[in-house]
Amino acid sequence: MCGIVGFVGKKSFDEKGGVNGAEVVVDGLKRLEYRGYDSWGVAIPGEKKILLHKAVGKIGGFELSSAPELKGTIAIGHTRWATHGGVTEINSHPHLSADKTIAVVHNGIIENYQEMRAKLEKKGVKFRSQTDTEVIPQAIQIELKKTPDFKKAVRNVLNELEGSYAVAIVVEGGKKLIGARKGSPLVFGIGKDGYYLGSDVPAFLKYANKAIFLDDLEMVEADEKGYEIINITTGKKVEKKITKIAWSIEDAEKGGYPHFMIKEMLEQPMVLDKTAATSNVELKKAAAMIKRAKQIWVVACGTALHAGMYGSYIFALNNDINLRPVSAGEFPYFAKFVGKNDLVICVSQSGETADVMEAVKSAHDSGAKVLALVNVMGSSLMRASDYSIVTKAGPEICVLSTKAYLSQVAMFMMLSYELNNKIAAGKKQLKAIKADAEKILVKDSLAKIKKVAKGLARADNIYAIGRGVNYPTSLEACLKIKEVSYIHAEGFAGGDLKHGPIALIAPGTPVLVFVANDGPKGAPFGGAAKEIVSNAMEVKARGAEVIGISYENNQVFDRYFAVGDHGIFTGIVAIIYSQVLSYYIALEKKLDPDKPRNLAKSVTVK
């Protein structure tokens, strides 16, 4: 969940035209701050010592001019989301060996670090931090006494590690940058000025648009002359495909907006346009996998799980297909029911989520096929799946997922239409949803949402209710609120209210009510709509402030946000209201919507 960056220049920094590695790494860390922002640090190997700069807090406000000593052709850096050890400067990365000649940055968890630490301490090694990472440079230093070849010594230590890691390693006086991965993401960038390492592509997108996505147990060694990739276990050279990155640097920057969250929400109509333009060939291949499957599971975490739940309702109502949504972390308890004729649909923004990757392994162990809906080209999930469709959100930097969620539910809708051989109608429907989304995101509408958010910011509890397709919509709405504002928020199925949750309603309690016209055509408040409005009346009778998000106004609503009538697909656009509400609640509470406390963008450790 941390972010790592590395750089080695093709020219010495002292030469004309050479690039300062510290500048590249600091810039990259700022772009990766969504992966962790407890602390950060940079290391540059000099001829006589490693230059080290570490600090607690966010790197966003740091300017390299305040540390002019940070100069060099090679540099590594890290922005931390704490796992082992408290948030202190000592525990921040990079970590050094006892003799301060080796520096390491690490994303992941070393599961056998306690055993390794105890073994090293018996050899007289003194540890400075409480982190699992520090065992890596300490072990390399000891290994170098037996194996003078630095690359071989690093490989020997990596083979001893249990758990997950993505690492960047440098040595005092050395001219090489080493990167390696097992279970945590690491991308190797190729640019005109040098070579790059990053947990995500945005770390170096400003400098390079060609990349190699390292697979598990692969190690890259790079210097000014070139690079080589080897298998960590065997030591044999590995030939890798170079991928050209389609994203632009502008996609990964704020573009004049105060926060990534508002920028990314405003991009959602464009995301829907791009989703509507998804290749028919891609959709047909995915639909064929779905048609062949005996059982279908949809596996994801957090926001992506809510998208998968929404997809399960769409497939049930539109295709008579049963998708069984399961949280990726809970999937191992059901894996024994997965067979060789089954399909597991994995949904992920990053494509690096540890629990999702474990689910892929479980599925393949059972002989099932895996279809991925993933937003990152070349991600671990994409490479591990039998087939993938890249969702069309583009880079999503805000820790909270907004446009990625919309792209996921929209892709489920496209697949649903493809399964019915009505893809043209699906694209037309998505264009109508896009037009509706644009209306929500205009200035006057945003001002109205902001006004409501001001009142919600004072609430201790916020609830949301929905039925059918709007049950997962209510879950996702409340997840956004709690993530960014720290207000207790819960979503419920309308039918569950009288089974306990209605006891939580007190006078003035805000309740979002999501309504879709999913009953018979032309029947006002037909089907689930009629029932959820009855539920709204029940909470209002107990003093709730009812906020309706519906295709039609109703007297039960104290406040009303309008959406178009898109039937079972209404929730695709209705969710935008709760996203924007969450954003303005955070601003009202003077919180950073891009970097909520305790959260990181990619959960790459279990």
Residues 447 and 435 in one domain: no
CB 204 within 8 A of CB 5: yes
Residues 375 and 274 in one domain: yes
Task: Give me the catalytic one of 2, 301, 398, 478.
Answer: 2
Q: How confident is the model at residue 173 (pLDDT cuts 50, 70, 90)?
A: confident
* Boundary of a domain, candidates 251, 277, 309: 251
What's the CATH code of the domain at 365? 3.40.50.10490
CB 544 within 8 A of CB 510: yes
Residue 179 has pLDDT above 80, yes or no: yes
**What digits encode the pLDDT tens for the residues 91-147?**
999 999 999 999 999 998 899 999 999 999 999 999 999 999 999 999 999 999 998
Residues 149 and 212 in one domain: yes
**What average pLDDT score do residues 40-51 get?**
90
Residues 231 and 299 in one domain: no
Whole-number Å distance between alpha carbons of 203 and 222: 17
Q: How confident is the model at residue 602 (pLDDT cuts 50, 70, 90)?
A: low
Closest CA to 544 of 461, 478, 469: 461
Task: Give pairs for 553-556: CB < 8 Å, separation 24+.
Answer: 554/515, 554/525
Residue 363: count of CB within 10 angstroms of its CB: 26
Q: How confident is the model at residue 354 (pLDDT cuts 50, 70, 90)?
A: confident
The amino acid sitting at 244 is K
Reported as type and span, the H/E element at residue 446 is helix 443-456
pTM listed for this prediction: 0.81
Closest CA to 419 of 367, 371, 471, 360: 371
Closest CA to 581 of 514, 512, 490: 512
Q: Where are the beta strands (DSSP E) in 360-506?
A: 369-374, 387-390, 461-466, 488-493
Q: What is the CA radius of gyration of the chain?
A: 25
**DSSP structural state of residue 108:** E
Active site includes 16? no
Tokens of 535: 């539920």
For the chain, the distance separating the N- and C-terminal CA atoms, rounded to the nearest angstrom, is: 10
Residues 245 and 271 in one domain: no
Active site includes 2? yes
What's the CATH code of the domain at 60? 3.60.20.10
Closest CA to 488 of 454, 460, 523, 452: 460
Q: How confident is the model at residue 525 (pLDDT cuts 50, 70, 90)?
A: very low
Q: Rounding to the nearest 10 degrees, give the CA dihedral for residues 354, 243, 287, 329.
A: 0
**What average pLDDT score do residues 219-239 get?**
95
Residues 414 and 290 in one domain: yes
| Preceding amide of 510 cis, omega within 30 | no
Task: Note the pLDDT of residue 376.
Answer: 87
> What residues make up the domain containing 397?
254-439
Q: Is residue 605 part of a domain?
A: no
Q: Is residue 585 part of a domain?
A: yes
Residues 238 and 264 in one domain: no
Q: Is residue 331 part of a domain?
A: yes
CB 108 within 8 A of CB 164: yes
Which residue in this structure is represented by tokens 């006078």? 507
Task: Note the pLDDT of residue 48.
Answer: 81
**What average pLDDT score do residues 492-496 get?**
94
Q: Is residue 606 part of a domain?
A: no
Q: What share of the chain is helix, strand, coil (3-state, %, to 5)?
A: 40, 20, 40
Residues 235 and 260 in one domain: no
* Boundary of a domain, candidates 225, 251, 277: 251
* Boundary of a domain, candidates 251, 281, 299: 251
Q: How confident is the model at residue 522 (pLDDT cuts 50, 70, 90)?
A: very low
Q: Is residue 546 part of a domain?
A: yes
**What digits encode the pLDDT tens for the residues 376-402?**
888 889 999 999 999 999 888 898 999
Residues 30 and 75 in one domain: yes
Whole-number Å distance between alpha carbons of 481 and 580: 10
Residues 397 and 527 in one domain: no
Angle between helical axes of 268-276 and 423-440 (0-180°, round to 10):
170
Q: How confident is the model at residue 47 (pLDDT cuts 50, 70, 90)?
A: confident
Residue 523 has pLDDT above 60, yes or no: no
Q: How confident is the model at residue 304 (pLDDT cuts 50, 70, 90)?
A: very high
Q: How confident is the model at residue 524 (pLDDT cuts 50, 70, 90)?
A: very low
Task: Give me the catalytic one of 236, 480, 601, 606.
Answer: 601
Whole-number Å distance between alpha carbons of 125 and 37: 29
**What average pLDDT score do residues 342-361 get?**
94
Q: How confident is the model at residue 73 (pLDDT cuts 50, 70, 90)?
A: very high
Residues 76 and 176 in one domain: yes
Q: Is residue 591 part of a domain?
A: yes
Total domain count, the chain: 3
Q: How confident is the model at residue 581 (pLDDT cuts 50, 70, 90)?
A: very high
Residue 558 has pLDDT above 50, yes or no: yes
